């Protein structure tokens, strides 16, 4: 199992019920900050989600957090291969997340500038943040980087860029105890272990909504579920439209 725990592989730690347990443990201890504010008072937490695959799972987590009074920041891709903020349903989901009291940030994929001889990252980040603000109808004050470890020759490690807080920068992560569920498992200590550790008085938790599902399953299957859910939605939307308008739908699969 490559040294990863059995829990990580089966996904038993990554159900929505397990998530509710760790959110209520965090809520009992920490005060939750927005990325544009900082505080040295008391026990504080930055609660970050990078939406790589599934805004639908993001909304499920946002509801769990709101029920415990937890403020999270959802970082959203404008140039994703897996969802589009311009789909009416996705825009609606993001605005529901805002209505639950959460913040929205930009999750930036530097690959979109790869074709430029001298990439204009700052211009593109400003553009995507402005577009995101227009869709979600709220201000965007921070951004994170998508797959920063795969970027070659790109650091983008400044604390601020085009007036936005760089929530991925090493200075910010170094100021907190950092925990991430990247690839659908805990690489080091689990988030629940860190919340239970009295020495962790400044916590920076990064989770990705696609890894948290109703039923336990291995990480690759969790991802597949997101991809197939989107495909099924597209199929039934098309079939529904034809049925509603009494149009022939020749060759439709039963």
| Residue ranges binding Zn ion (CB under 5 A) | 50, 52, 146
Residues 114 and 120: their CA atoms lie apart, in Å, by: 10
Q: Are 49 and 74 in contact (CB under 8 A)?
A: yes
Nearer to Zn ion, 11 or 209 (CB): 209
Cβ atoms 222, 210 nearer than 8 A: yes
As measured in angstroms, the least distance from the Cβ of 53 to Zn ion is: 9
Q: How far is the CB of 146 from Zn ion (least distance, A)?
A: 4
Handedness of CA 25, 30, 32, 35 (dihedral sign): negative
Coil/strand/helix, residue 180: strand
In the complex with Zn ion, which residue's Cβ is closer, 30 or 108? 108
CB 128, min distance to Zn ion, A: 14
* Angle, alpha carbons 211-221-103 (nearest 5°): 20
Question: 30 or 204: whose CB is closer to Zn ion?
Answer: 204
Whole-angstrom Cα distance, residue 16 to residue 226? Answer: 15
Residue with tokens 């927005």: 34
Closest to Zn ion by CB, 51 or 71: 51
Assign 130 to helix, strand or coil.
helix
* Residue whose C-beta lies closest to Zn ion: 146
* CA 139-19-188 angle, 5° bins: 95
* Nearest to Zn ion of 85, 200 (CB atom): 85
| Closest CB 57 distance from Zn ion, rounded Å | 14
Closest CB to Zn ion among 77 and 213? 77
Minimum distance of Zn ion from residue 107's CB (angstroms): 6
Establish how many alpha carbons lie within 13 A of residue 149's alpha carbon, considering only the half-sphere containing its beta carbon.
2
Minimum distance of Zn ion from residue 182's CB (angstroms):
9
């Amino acid at each position: 199992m490559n040294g990863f725990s059995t829990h990580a592989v089966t996904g038993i730690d990554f159900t929505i019920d397990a998530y509710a347990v760790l959110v209520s443990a965090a809520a009992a201890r920490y005060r939750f900050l927005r990325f544009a504010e900082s505080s040295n008072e008391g026990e504080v937490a930055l609660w970050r989600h990078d939406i790589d695959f599934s805004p639908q799972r993001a909304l499920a987590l946002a509801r769990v957090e709101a029920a415990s009074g937890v403020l999270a920041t959802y970082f959203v891709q404008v140039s994703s291969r897996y969802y589009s903020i311009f789909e009416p349903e996705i825009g609606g989901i993001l605005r529901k997340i805002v209505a639950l009291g959460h913040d929205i940030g930009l999750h930036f994929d530097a690959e979109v500038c790869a074709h430029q001889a001298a990439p204009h990252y700052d211009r593109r980040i400003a553009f995507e943040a402005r577009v995101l603000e227009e869709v979600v109808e709220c201000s965007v004050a921070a951004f994170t980087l998508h797959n920063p470890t795969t970027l070659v020759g790109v650091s983008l490690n400044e604390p601020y860029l085009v007036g936005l807080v760089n929530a991925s920068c090493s200075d910010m992560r170094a100021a907190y105890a950092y925990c991430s569920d990247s690839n659908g498992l805990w690489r080091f200590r689990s988030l629940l272990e860190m919340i239970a550790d009295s020495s962790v008085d400044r916590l920076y938790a990064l989770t990705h909504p696609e890894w948290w599902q109703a039923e336990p399953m291995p990480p690759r299957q969790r991802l597949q579920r997101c991809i197939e859910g989107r495909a099924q939605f597209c199929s039934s939307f098309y079939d529904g439209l034809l049925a509603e308008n009494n149009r022939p739908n020749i060759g439709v699969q039963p």
